[in-house]
Structure 1
Amino acid sequence: MPAKSGRSSEDVALQIEAAILAGRIMPGESLPSEREMQQQFQVSRGAVREALRALKEKGMLEIRKGAKGGAFVKQVEVSNVSASLALFLKQHPVAPEQLVEFRENIDRTVTMLAIARADDAARQKLLESARKLQVAAAETDPDLEVLGEMDRELNLLLGRMSHNPIFEWVMGALQQGFSSYDYALYEEEDFRRQTVDNWVETARRIAENEPMLALSSISNHYVLLRRCVERRTGDEGTIVQAQQSGINPTPNEQSEEI
């Protein structure tokens, strides 16, 4: 439709966005040329370009150059959504207890969905991965980065087992942004051993279709986490700032600042 005068570029952008969201223009498809859109919307080429620029910034379009270039509808991937949410979480720090509380409730819901919906192969994969984490953590001088990555993969696998893409996106964002101070559990030997043992127990209960016992294991994880955070964080601001920057403070750095 002809764009409304006075805010032509905004109206053009809204019409194109509505067409994309309604499925009239599918991911991967190209928009008409700038000249064609200029005629369709009855606006200047500058207004068309401004509308396309705005939609590109929103992540809805990608602009390709060359003979076969133009404006194309962008396929938004789970990783893009998770990365954006992770950035938002980093820029809006919350208190440790609020983050732990949110994670615990998410994990409980995802666990119940995983038990109800995941197939045997996925359940066994979760259990095998948890046991590999347990073995890696039992080494004399374990690589904490490797343990952290294994822990993240377990959480992401559990999210996929829910067969609900929204939970998968949120789990991915939390793991990219920060993981409820889980890294602290792996930096101290006693908490590390209890954490990996509890992961195995949780995975085993999921594999055996025992929801109440699985939820008990989830609760136990967050009991450990709260104890660990209370022991290690004399200055919550230090930890929050480190999480925002994506850097986990070492035990020595924490003790010095405390």
Structure 2
Amino acid sequence: MDKNQGIQVRFNPVGIGRASEEIVLQVEAAIMDGRLAPGERLPSEREMQTQFGIGRGVVREAIKTLKQKGLLEVRKGAKGGAYVRELEVSNVSESLALFLKQHPVAPEKLIEFRETIDRTITELAIARADRTEKEKLLEDAMRLETLLRQDDPDLTVTGELDRQLNISLVKMARNPLLEWVMHAVQMGFSSHDYALYEDAGYREKAAANWSDTARAICNDEPMRALSFIGYHYVLLRKCVEERNGQSQQDLPFLNESPNNK
């Protein structure tokens, strides 16, 4: 049967009061358990009205809610109707990014999260990426370092290059879940990395450290790469503390790059 016909799925009647919410829950469940597949059309409003035992206005309200949630799209024309939306990476990332923006998290928690996934991504990238990808990562990291060593760097340009470096690295890990999360992270927040580039005292250290990290990845040296990632987050924590006027107690290895150990 043509999946666009959308007449196989059956729903249960709903009660009065929270009818719209119950319809939403039933449709969501049908999508989650596979009874409604991506690209498949829901029953017509009239059919849903009969199945749920409710007025058309309530059905339309539920469809509107499901559309706002990103689960449905409404099409016009001869084959019009409500269809289960086929989500792409960008859709998932946009939704997660919006969630992150609407639910602020303490800087330390963001930094902790980023450091954890960066370590995993780096190890996978070293194991799975090809030589061309690794060399390109190093080339771009060195270009970022050159730009940030200028007296008055364009932080919009360097910020975009830093974002692209992170996206390139996660693609090298060959894990779509990590890629979705990293896209969302880059869209929603950057773990305050911008603070490092805005501060002249940290800028060169951070830029050089990106190059050192990419070089270690290119040379298939996971332990060195992880040590450089750790150093990046030492710098970042210190920089954020200073910007927030928190404790400025010196960290003993702040001024000592892993390169010098």
Instruction: Give the TM-score of the pair, scaled to structure 2.
Output: 0.80
* Corresponding residue number in structure 1 for 2:65: 54
Aligned residues: 236
CA distance in 1, matches of 2:62, 2:103: 29
Quote the residue 2:56 is aligned against: 45
Contact 1:3–1:11 (CA under 8 A) maintained in structure 2: no
SS in 1 for 2:25: helix
Where does residue 13 of structure 2 map in the other structure?
3
Distance 1:4 1:98 in 2: 42
Report whether the alignment pairs 1:168 with 2:179: yes
Judge conservation of contact 1:100–1:180 (CA < 8 Å) in 2. yes
Q: CA RMSD in A?
A: 2.4
Aligned residue in 1 for 2:218: 207
How far apart are the structure 2 equivalents of 1:134 and 1:198? 9
How far 1:8 sits from its partner (Å)?
4.5
The code of the aligned residue for 2:154 comes to D
Does the CA contact (< 8 Å) of 2:14 and 2:53 recur in 1?
Answer: no
- Structure 2 distance, partners of 1:234, 1:13, is 47
Name the CA distance, whole Å, in 2 between partners of 1:19 and 1:135.
53
| Structure 1 residue matching 2:226: 3-state secondary structure | helix
Higher-helix-fraction structure: 1
Cα distance change of structure 1 residues 96 and 208 upon mapping to structure 2, 3 Å threshold: same
Are positions 1:120 and 2:131 aligned together?
Answer: yes
8 Å Cα contact 1:198/1:217 also seen in 2: yes
Q: Measured at CA, do residues 10 and 181 of structure 1 come closer, stay the same or move farther in structure 2, by a change above 3 Å?
A: closer
Cα distance between partner residues in 2 of 1:36 and 1:229: 57
Any runs of at least 4 consecutive aligned residues in structure 1 with deviations exceeding 4 A, and if so which? Answer: none
Extract unaligned runs of 5+ from structure 2.
1-10, 248-261
Separation (CA, whole Å) in 2 of partners of 1:70 and 1:10: 20
In the alignment, the residues of structure 2 paired with residue 58 and residue 210 of structure 1 have an alpha-carbon distance, to the nearest angstrom, of: 43
Return the letter of the residue paired with 2:121. V
Q: 1:89 aligns to what?
A: 100
Residues 1:228 and 2:225 aligned together: no
What runs of 5+ residues in structure 1 fail to find an aligned partner?
Answer: 237-258
- TM-score, scaled to structure 1: 0.81
- Out of 11, 27, 34, the position equivalent to 1:16 is 27
State the AA in 2 paired with 1:211. P
How far, CA to CA, are the matches of 1:235 and 1:85 in structure 2?
A: 30
> Which SS does the other structure have where 1:62 is aligned?
strand
Distance 1:12 1:123 in 2: 50
Q: Is the 8 A contact 1:60 1:74 kept in 2?
A: yes
Give the residue type in structure 2 aligned to 1:3: P
Correspondence for 1:251: none
Provide the C-alpha distance between the structure 1 equivalents of 2:205 and 2:39, rounded to a whole number of angstroms: 48
1:73 matched residue in structure 2: 84
Alpha-carbon distance change, 93 to 46 in structure 1, aligned in 2, over 3 angstroms = closer
